[in-house]
């Protein structure tokens, strides 16, 4: 593994990741606040509808926080060498999602002042929401410095096989969805976009995991002239 190809998030990516993590914590704190409010004010038979509404709002906030957190991790991933930090950073969304509901679920089922019907309806909905928040927050394919480093090497090798200049590719500076880099600055997907230029490694370090645009891949493949193997004659 060449030292020049080891992934390291750019200052711009780190800054963006920091912002996303701050917004994620704000969403999680709001979810926790909603849970506290529900615990002290809404666990009663005559407020069942409001309790269910609060559960839905808490779920939305928990999932929002987890989504933002995952986006941040893809910009600034942890290293697998620090297994504790790697686990916590990548699974914090699942942890916070469960914590946003666990006390509420316990208190609904153990409350002696509400009816069995209320316990069954509100408790079941809260439990399902807790599972949904936990699963949504979990990262089953977490990014890492090592994973990105391997991907950079693979992308460089694939690009070179298509005679693509690995130090001169293009990518959209901002946006969502699967990150792509482009071999040609006139690619249809770059029209009207704010475009950055640099190496494949730069694309990874600024935007996270990336892959070659399929349109550019096909165009580059057409340029590659197959090497003719001389045929021996007797």
Rounded average pLDDT per 10-residue block, the chain, 234 residues: 72 96 98 98 97 98 98 97 97 98 98 96 98 98 96 95 95 77 95 94 92 95 65 58
Strands 195-198 and 169-172: antiparallel
What local confidence, expressed as pLDDT, does residue 234 receive? 54
207 C-beta neighbours (distance < 10 Å), count: 23
- Our measurement of the distance from residue 113's CA atom to the centroid of its chain's CA atoms, rounded to an integer in Å, reads 42
What does the alpha-carbon distance between residue 73 and residue 43 come to, in Å, rounded to a whole number?
36
What does the alpha-carbon distance between residue 61 and residue 89 come to, in Å, rounded to a whole number?
19
Q: Show the tokens assigned to 28.
A: 């999680």
What local confidence, expressed as pLDDT, does residue 177 receive? 54
What local confidence, expressed as pLDDT, does residue 231 receive? 57
Residue 210 β-bridge partners: 179
Instruction: Give the 3-state secondary structure of residue 70.
Output: helix
Residue 80 β-bridge partners: none
pTM over 0.85: yes
Q: Show the tokens assigned to 66.
A: 């987890």
Residues 6 or more apart whose CB falls under 8 angstroms from that of 44 comprise: 51, 113, 114, 118
């Amino acid at each position: 593994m060449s030292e020049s190809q080891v992934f390291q998030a750019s200052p711009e990516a780190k800054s963006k990741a920091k912002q996303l993590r701050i917004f994620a914590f704000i969403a999680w704190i709001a979810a926790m606040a909603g849970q506290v409010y529900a615990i002290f004010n809404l666990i009663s038979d005559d407020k069942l509808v409001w309790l269910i509404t609060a559960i839905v709002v808490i779920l939305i906030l928990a999932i929002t926080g987890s989504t933002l957190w995952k986006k941040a991790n893809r910009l600034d991933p942890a290293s697998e060498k620090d297994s504790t930090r790697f686990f916590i950073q990548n699974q914090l969304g699942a942890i916070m999602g469960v914590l946003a509901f666990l006390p509420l679920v316990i208190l609904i089922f153990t409350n002696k002042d509400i009816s069995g019907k209320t316990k069954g309806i509100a408790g079941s909905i809260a439990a399902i929401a807790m599972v949904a928040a936990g699963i949504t927050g979990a990262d089953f394919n977490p990014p890492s410095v090592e994973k990105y480093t391997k991907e950079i090497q693979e992308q460089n090798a694939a690009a070179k096989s298509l005679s693509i200049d690995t130090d001169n590719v293009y990518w959209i500076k901002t946006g969502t969805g699967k990150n792509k880099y482009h071999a040609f600055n006139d690619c249809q997907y770059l029209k009207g976009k704010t475009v950055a230029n640099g190496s494949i490694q730069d694309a990874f370090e600024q935007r996270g995991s990336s892959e070659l645009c399929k349109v550019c891949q096909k165009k580059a493949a057409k340029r590659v002239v197959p090497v003719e193997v001389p045929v021996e004659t007797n």
